[in-house]
Amino acid sequence: MENRMLVSPLPRWQKLKTLAVLAPLAVLAACATQEPGPVTATPSKPVATPTQAPRPVADNPQQAQLRELIAQQDRLYRVAAPLLTSNAQLCRGNARNLLGFTAKNRYSFPIEYAETARSLGYDDRLQVTGVLPGSGAAQAGIQRGDFLISVAGKPMPQGTDAERQAAVLLSPLVVKKSPIALGVQRNGQNTTVNVPLTFACAFSIELGNADNVNTYADGRRVLITRGMLKFTQSDDELAYLIAKDMAHNILGHAIRQRMVSTIAEVIDNLLLPHPDPTTTAGTAGIRVYPQDLDAAADTLSLYLLARAGYSIDNVPAFWKRLADQYPASVPNGYTALHPATAYRLSMIDKVTQIVKAKQEAGKPLVP
């Protein structure tokens, strides 16, 4: 992604992901599934435990909704992480140096959730919400719950525009390929850690605010709708979807279809707290993928999945179930844009055998 994206205006609630995957922001999407909150005590600084645990207070409706949103995004980032970190070689010009954590503050959510986010432990400071195992951040000891205080000796921005301003600070640092000095606060104490960079695919992974069962890829972003996320029955199935759209992006299919601006508008709309349903009616003006492009993305996706450690045995069954439940006649559905199911399944079977043979022979997993 080009650095000009650093200053592009974003819907406020979608800023929660900008410190997650975008290459100029130097942060990698990978969140743990537990909810955010205060940093747990280290062995050297135990926290006193009351003799009788307080009775849990039930969430109000808005807190419950926000927790669900956080959990959905955490799952999306967690599943996407190995696909991004294991496939820099195949992502071609879309790989960048990243830090390996996600961070949010209370302004990372829809404006109506700002106070609710505060009640869940967020304030004006950017707080680490997930660390990718094996990344530079993990090696440096960055932990979930750490507050970001400084970067390269400069104060870390806070408040409503913190993520965009943090991106501006980080962008020139990641191109130098040297560790970045981050000041963090943990258990009320400040410390500075040097975080090595992680080379990974730099696609932004988004959660769309819509119940239609679909995904979109505009060349730099992958969007999974809320409806599609709920449709998946396992993390493997979610990985199939992310890998397929990553493949569309790597292969430049939005450009070849001359659909970059159209798909980008659909994604921008689905990132709003209250999307305009008229912009996603039917196929939303997006051209149907021809079977050769769709099969090419399926082929590459199998390699992306295998390299990331995901099983590819159930890929055909998933796509068949999706096409059976949401055929091409369903408006706003995935199969309406990817109708060549039979052709795709035959190609997937062939490529699966090739990939598995390479795995067994210990050969490089490249197309």
Please tell me the total count of domains within the chain.
2
Task: Specify burial of residue 320 (Cβ count, 10 A radius: 0-12, 13-18, 19+).
Answer: middle
**170 within some domain:** yes
Question: Do the domain assignments include residue 67?
Answer: no
Q: By CB neighbour count within 10 A (0-12 exposed, 13-18 middle, 19+ buried), where does 277 fall?
A: exposed
226 and 344 co-located in one domain: yes
Shared-domain flag, residues 193 and 237? no
Residue 90 falls within a domain, yes or no? no
* Residues 163 and 211 grouped into a single domain: no
Q: Looking at residue 152, which CATH number applies to its domain?
A: 2.30.42.10
Largest CA distance in the chain: 65
> What per-residue confidence (pLDDT) applies to 92?
82
Instruction: Please check whether residues 357 and 264 belong to one and the same domain.
Output: yes
Long-range contacts of 168-177 (CB under 8 A, 24+ apart): 168/6, 168/7, 170/24, 170/25, 170/26, 170/27, 170/99, 171/3, 171/6, 171/24, 171/25, 171/26, 173/26, 174/23, 174/24, 174/26, 174/96, 174/97, 174/98, 174/99, 175/97, 177/97
End-to-end Cα distance, the chain = 24
Together in a domain, 191 and 141: yes
| pLDDT value for 49 | 38
174 shares its domain with 191: yes
- Domain annotation covers residue 72: no
Same domain, 265 and 283: yes
Q: State whether 253 and 346 are in the same domain.
A: yes
| Domain end position, chosen among 154, 172, 200 | 200
Q: 297 and 241 in one domain?
A: yes
If asked whether residues 169 and 212 sit together in one domain, one would say no
Give a yes or no: residue 2 inside a domain: no
> Which residue is associated with the tokens 């010009």?
93
Q: How far apart are CA 60 and CA 49, in angstroms?
A: 26
pTM for the full predicted model = 0.81
Last residue of a domain, one of 200, 222, 247: 200
- Residue where one domain finishes, among candidates 179, 200, 221: 200
What range defines the domain where residue 159 resides? 95-200
Q: What is the pLDDT of residues 22-39, one digit of tens each?
A: 332 334 333 323 333 333
Same domain for 294 and 339: yes
Whether residue 15 lies inside any domain: the answer is no
Ranges under pLDDT 70 in the chain: 1-57
Q: Does residue 281 share a domain with residue 220?
A: yes
Integer Cα distance of 270 and 209 in angstroms: 5
For residue range 53-69, what is the model confidence (pLDDT) as tens digits? 444 567 788 888 888 88
Give the pLDDT confidence score for residue 57 in this predicted structure: 63
